[in-house]
Amino acid sequence: MAIADQVKTDVTEAMRAGERDRVGALRLLLSELQKASKEGSEDELAVLRRERKRRRDAATAYREGGREDLAAKEDAESQLIAGYLPAELSDEDLQRIVQVAIEETGSSSKGDMGRVMKQAMAAVGGRADGARVSSVVRAALGA
């Protein structure tokens, strides 16, 4: 089942259960998925990752502004979206992927970080955040 279809089903279930906040978040997510589909993008996971990142950034901004109530709402939406994403890689698995990328590219210095990142991000396949991959690559290359 496509992610958009699953979200539609979950909207209906949330409406029946009377979960207003969940319905609102799911409708917004469904809208973004449909908009991306109309624009020709078939990568639903990229839309989910983008929307999750937006929620995390908004929560951080609200916390900095002293609005913990709104930050908590954004965190809840971020967790809801994360439920549709594939499981995150463990630290060990991510380090293994980065090590393989370093060996395959023959990299040894921080100047090779771009090549290693490209290889590692392709291998990760969206199962880890780019910032997390970058920090592991930087540590592995001694940058």
Which pLDDT tens digit goes with each residue over 8-46? 999 999 999 999 999 999 999 999 999 988 888 778 888
Q: Is the pLDDT of residue 99 over 70?
A: yes
**Model-level pTM?**
0.74
Mean pLDDT of 111-115: 85
Q: Is 65 exposed, middle or buried (0-12, 13-18, 19+ CB in 10 A)?
A: exposed
Return the pLDDT at 44. 85
Mean pLDDT of 128-143: 84
Q: Domains for the chain: give ranges and CATH numbers.
A: 3-82 (1.10.1510.10), 91-141 (1.10.10.410)
- Tokens 């969206």 found at: 126
Return the pLDDT at 13. 94
